Amino acid sequence: MRERRTIQQLLVVLLFFLAASQFPLLGIFNKKVLVGGLPLLYVGLFGLWALFILAIGLLLRRKQQKEEQP
């Protein structure tokens, strides 16, 4: 049962990432502004990508810790 819940949570994270990486939301970052010498769009995309990886890592770490407990 726990495995099914983890899969559902991972699917929610994936759907959020896919929705956030579509044009209407990416249009927010499509400005002629430089952040640390990089265009804001690139910073936004890499930030979104980093959040995606972080969310997956946290979900999988939590699952692993629950499995190790007796």
Structure tokens at 12: 């929610």
| Cα distances (angstroms) measured from residue 7 to each of 35, 57, 59 | 36, 13, 10
Q: What is the pTM of this model?
A: 0.81
DSSP output for 11-33: HHHHHHHHHHTSHHHHGGG-SS-
Segment 9-58, tens digit of pLDDT: 999 999 999 999 998 888 889 999 999 999 999 999 999 999 999 999 99
Q: Kindly list the domain boundaries of the chain, sorted by start residue.
A: 2-60
In which band, very low, low, confident or very high, does the pLDDT at 1 lie, cut at 50, 70 and 90?
Answer: low
